[in-house]
Amino acid sequence: MTLYKKISALVLACLLICTPILTSCSLNSSGELSEGDASRTLDAFLSKIKYKTKEQTDIQKDLTIPNVIELPDINTSYPLVVRGTGEIDIEIFSSTEKATANEHDSWLIEMGNNFNRSGAEVDGRKASVSVRSITSGEAVDYITSGLHVPVAYSPSNTLWGELIASKGTQIDLVEERLTGNVAGILMSPDVALKYKSAHGDKIVLSEVLDAAINGELVLGYTNPYASSTGLNMLASMLYSFDNNNPLSDAAVSKLIEFQKVSPPVAFTTAQMRDSASKGLIDAMVMEAQAYSNTPELSNYVFTPFGVRHDSPVYSLGGANNAQLECLQKFIEFCKSDTSQQSASRYGFNKNEDYLGVSPNIEGPDIANAQKIWKTNKTGGDPVVAVFVADTSGSMDGTPLESLKSSLKNASQYIGDNNYVGLVSFSDSPVIELGIAKFDVNHAALFRGAVNALKPNGGTATYDAVLVALDMIRKQQDSLASARFVVFVLSDGEQNAGNSLKKIEAIVDGMNVPVYTIGYNMKDNSELIELSGINEASNINATSDDVVLKLKSLFNANL
């Protein structure tokens, strides 16, 4: 928060709860409201908010258990970034670091367009490629579900190809390396200096993990269900804990130790980078190509780990001989000296002396590793989450139906050891479902409560956030070791009740991350600000892709 906001919040808190003894309000060492003052200020605000609580007996349980992810139309959510027009055209799924339309991550877009202009032919017919940029985890969903299967797939590393093969989908490695890249651990200069003085000049992943467990540093990483670097980190951690059997009880026990002191995984690399800039983490994982294009991190120490990220290329079942020949021609085009010089300008082909380390995890074990991580990502402690759902009049029709469908569908990714509650809001908040363990019965109540949501009235977003924080506060004594979190789902700006400026100090002082999901919003700057107070993330979703984004968010946090 800005100094002005901090002072305004403090004055408001004192006027509400400390009158006439203004000196009873206190600030913590950071100049913000202490947790106790935030809690007392929350009470003062709640006394002025009209909200109601529904009886659990009024909820009609929904016993339908979702078991298949509803994927959005791929052309809407992940449009082609290169569109081929050849008589023989092949579609390629590409990881985002080489196929995103920006200054640093568009190498494969350049290659695709150049190839399509090159006059390449197969059997006398014009050949071309179409490229679709999509995160590796989401690409796996489309391919293994059969909903959309391209001719070829180029993830960052081979772990994703092995994961797809383990799910029974035909996939064949055509090229081990399209261009060079590695994942690495980044350490801030001060932390690297301290680490080396204690452990020697060589930075080794197993020793970094031990240092994190011992409280010497805080290491952040990305979601292993969505991120190639995150999946590599998970596999490498388990391997470092037990080289012979990375899924052994000993390895899992060590993972739990690490997760107890590890911050929640970052939803994006940008979120993790922001946490580092604020001094909340001392080290993080990142690809060398991204590191080379992030000048503000140039003084960080980079150490490669795990499998290499050389953008392998796979063909998928159903490709005919002409398509496979076209793919081979494109691979040869990308591997030419001129193309690789271009890749180097984008930040690829660094750390060529690093050979990579196989994590001794293959096929089904990769999926099992993800499940082990999901179960133990909070170090064995539960998560207590309150969902705050917008039911204002603007949500009428498709927006609310999408919200309901996505919440119910994505609820299958909430672990049954966690605790969940539900608040809706229009002109005022309603506690639709109190917090309870997410067992079969409570999950059915949750889906039933979501089914019953109806649109009406204004948008009292921040009143509902305060009610959710109060619900969480009442659980903190009995579930002291739990991680507490709020998820806000909305399509519009607040126009009723308290403003964001009025509640910022309370959210900050309560120290509960608030993840926000904006539906089809032109301006979600307030939601971004809300989620940034306690280092959560914001997702800007459409009605089509919100369920997929919620799945990723829930896998990372629930």
Count the Cβ atoms, other than its own, within 10 Å of residue 110. 17
Average pLDDT over residues 391-400: 86
What is residue 13's predicted lDDT score, i.e. its pLDDT?
Answer: 44
Model confidence at 204, pLDDT cuts 50, 70, 90, reads very high
Least confident residue range of 167-181, 220-234, 280-294, 392-406: 392-406
Residue range 150-172: mean pLDDT, rounded: 95
| Rounded Cα distance, 523 and 528, in Å | 10
Which is more confident, 123 or 549?
123
Mean pLDDT of the region 448-457: 91
Per-residue DSSP letters for 166-234? Answer: HTT--EEEEES-SS--EEEEEE-HHHHHHHHHHH-SS--HHHHHHHHHTTS--EE-B-TTT-HHHHHHH
pLDDT in tens, 97-125: 999 999 999 999 999 999 999 999 999 99
Would you place residue 3 in the very low, low, confident or very high pLDDT band (cuts 50, 70, 90)? very low
Least confidently predicted of 141-155, 272-286, 314-328, 420-434: 272-286
User: Is a pLDDT exceeding 50 seen at residue 18?
Assistant: no
Confidence of residue 5 (pLDDT cuts 50, 70, 90): very low
Q: Is the pLDDT score of 255 beyond 90? A: yes
CA distance 81 to 100: 8
What is the pairing mode between strands 419-425 and 429-437? antiparallel
8 A C-beta contact, residue 331 and residue 174: yes
Extract the tokens encoding 547.
Answer: 């369920």
pLDDT at 362 over 90: no
Adjacent-strand bridge partners of 266: 222
Minimum mean pLDDT range among 290-304, 343-357, 530-544 = 530-544
pLDDT higher at 9 or 367: 367
CATH domain 3-66+381-557 topology: Rossmann fold (3.40.50)
Mean pLDDT across 397-422: 85
Q: Is the confidence at residue 482, as pLDDT, over 60?
A: yes
* pLDDT at residue 543, as a whole number: 58
Q: Label residue 388 by pLDDT band (50, 70, 90).
A: very high
Local confidence band at 68 (pLDDT 50, 70, 90 cut-offs): low
pLDDT over 70 percentage in the chain: 91
Tell the residue number behind the tokens 């949501």, with chain if given.
453
Q: Is residue 474 classed exposed, middle or buried when 0-12, 13-18 and 19+ CB atoms within 10 A define those classes?
A: exposed
Q: What are the domain boundaries of the chain?
A: 3-66+381-557, 188-308
Tens digit of each residue's pLDDT (9 = 90 or more) over 207-217: 999 999 999 99
| Per-residue pLDDT at 545 | 66
Listed range (25-39, 248-262, 369-383) with the worst mean pLDDT: 25-39
Per-residue pLDDT band at 332 (split at 50, 70, 90): very high
Per-residue confidence (pLDDT) for residue 19, from 0 to 100: 35
Kindly report which listed range (29-43, 161-175, 543-557) carries the lowest average pLDDT score.
Answer: 543-557
Q: What is the mean pLDDT of the chain?
A: 87
Q: Checking DSSP bridges between strand 182-187 and strand 125-133, what pairing results, if any? A: unpaired
Please determine, for residue 488, whether its predicted confidence score (pLDDT) is greater than 60.
yes
In this predicted structure, the answer to whether residue 156 has a pLDDT above a threshold of 50 is yes
- Note the pLDDT of residue 211: 94
Using 50, 70 and 90 to split pLDDT, how confident is the model at 87? very high
Which pLDDT score is estimated for 544? 65
Asked which of 63-72, 156-165, 449-458 is least confident by mean pLDDT, the reply is: 63-72
Mean pLDDT of the 59-73 span: 78
